[in-house]
Amino acid sequence: MNALTRDLVRLVKMVEDGTENTGRFRQRFHLMPPVGWLNDPNGLCQFGGIYHAFFQYSPFDPEGGVKMWGHYISTDMAGWEYEGVSLYPDQPFDCHGVYSGCAFIEDGEMYLYYTGNVKLEDREDYDYINTGREANTVLVTSRDGIHFGAKKELMSNTDYPSDLSLHVRDPKVWKEGNVYYMIQGARTKEDVGQAIIFTSADKVNWTFKSRISTAEPFGYMWECPDYFEADGIKVLSASVQGLKGEVWEERNVYQSGYFTVAGDLCGEYALSEYCLWDYGFDYYAPQSFETDDGRRIMIAWMGMPDCKEYTNPTIADGWQHCFTFPREIYVKDGILCQRPVRELKMRERKIQSVKVLYGTEAFELEGYQTYDLAVSGITENAFRAVLGQELILEYQNGRFEMRFDNQDKASVSAGRGIRHVEVEKITDVRILADISSVEVFVNGGEYVLTTRYYPEKTHVRVEAKEAGIEAREILC
């Protein structure tokens, strides 16, 4: 441990220990920072039976700062235990941030790959895109998932293709046959977003192999790329910055979605249209991993970078942001869908199960802050729900909408307005509500909409003719 690490350990402990009351909007079953700021999920894995989730963490300021990796563990992905900070920005190659990365597990060893961010000292001629910054690929390993060895710098910008800007980051590693693959997000010098792939025979020495891009430029930067197969479908996920015009004007400032890949990712391939993972307000930088029982789990940051439109009042309580609840990726009729991990059921208690008959009153629930509400068998393409008397979920004219009546920054929405997704026919809706977040799964999770919200009331009202409704309280 060097002198800087020693001081950082002390400082983080001081600020974490000094945090008692973090306010009434703390979540119950979503992973949050103990104090300060959280963004991307990193190093997600199951290791020795335990789930590990690291996160981009700036404990000193709820509005962000130099990033380190905070660490949580869990046995069921619903209750998380804080393990402290695992990786501090304490080396010349990562001194301005231990940026995002992944975990790769093999032979009882956890390999963490991440981007060491370096911003050279302020100079007027630096634009911090093509000059003035370093993005280093770093490896650190552990045999118990708690104690980590020395960091090893594996690659630097000169090891990446020369037509790329200095924005190359967020390694994700997997293995096929005897070959290890690493995908990273990139921005070219011409401001085109891409993903680049490296291969290795030993997990340490990496060679540039190929790149993935769209026929026409698609955004200026791809962050946090991920690649996996689900039921034979090859999925390339990327968080894309710089999409403009048309439909993008009605969406978030940055997007997280996926292409399906036909052919060979490292050779001849064709990418599908880009589909969003989530159509709500707060969703970015998802990362996936495979559980021991073969499920593909995805967790995202329930937040949005560089978003001026809306905010989070938890800043006043000294913290900001959380993760989405872990979702299983599954394939239904050839379509990728998402659902909350099944472990959640173990923490639920049934409140009510009813059928809302034609012509009768709506279903109403009062007094619950954390619930899982499933509406199935929706008829006549008609659905409407109002949560906390402020957040409206409504299907009309071929669109499923998530909207707030009051878009004031001081209101329940904290400035959020409206998001939507085109849906031909609505069959079922599942609403997962925590103290200050709502995740809505439409049609078995074919479409998902996620938002933070800051309700003053607990009232829930659902209108859905002849649908079956099951309401469960989540006890965490």
Q: Hey, which residues are catalytic here? A: 40
- Of 271 and 285, the one with the shorter C-beta distance to ligand FRU is 285
Using CA atoms, how far apart are residues 459 and 387, in angstroms rounded to an integer? Answer: 6
Which residues lie closer than 8 Å to 186 by C-beta, 6 or more apart? 160, 164, 165, 167, 168, 169, 193, 194, 195, 196, 211, 221, 222
Does 23 participate in binding ligand FRU (rule CB under 6 A)? no
Which residue's structure tokens are 């998530």? 402
Rg of the chain over CA atoms, in angstroms?
22
Smallest gap, in angstroms, from Cβ of residue 97 to ligand FRU? 6
Using CA atoms, how far apart are residues 308 and 446, in angstroms rounded to an integer? Answer: 29
Rounded to 5 degrees, φ, ψ at 416 are -75, 145
Q: Which residue in 224, 322, 375, 433 binds ligand FRU (CB under 6 A)?
A: 224
Does 169 participate in binding ligand FRU (rule CB under 6 A)? yes
CA 380, 386, 387, 390 torsion-angle sign: positive
Q: Which residue in 132, 305, 377, 417 binds ligand FRU (CB under 6 A)?
A: 305
Does 278 participate in binding ligand FRU (rule CB under 6 A)? no
Question: What 3-state DSSP class applies to 359?
Answer: coil
Q: In angstroms, how far is CA 274 from the centroid of its own chain?
A: 17
Using CA atoms, how far apart are residues 267 and 210, in angstroms rounded to an integer? Answer: 8
Does 100 participate in binding ligand FRU (rule CB under 6 A)? yes
Does 40 participate in binding ligand FRU (rule CB under 6 A)? yes
Binding residues among 41-80 for ligand FRU as defined by CB under 6 A: 56, 67
Question: What 3-state DSSP class applies to 4?
Answer: helix
Does 182 participate in binding ligand FRU (rule CB under 6 A)? no
Does 115 participate in binding ligand FRU (rule CB under 6 A)? yes
Q: Which residue in 170, 328, 390, 473 binds ligand FRU (CB under 6 A)?
A: 170
Smallest gap, in angstroms, from Cβ of residue 45 to ligand FRU? 18
Q: Which residue in 78, 235, 265, 285 binds ligand FRU (CB under 6 A)?
A: 285
Q: Is 348 exposed, middle or buried (0-12, 13-18, 19+ CB in 10 A)?
A: middle
Site string (363-402) toward ligand FRU, x via CB under 6 A = ----------------------------------------
Q: How many residues does the chain have?
A: 476
Enumerate binding residues for ligand FRU (CB under 6 A).
Answer: 39-40, 56, 67, 99-100, 115, 169-170, 223-224, 284-285, 305
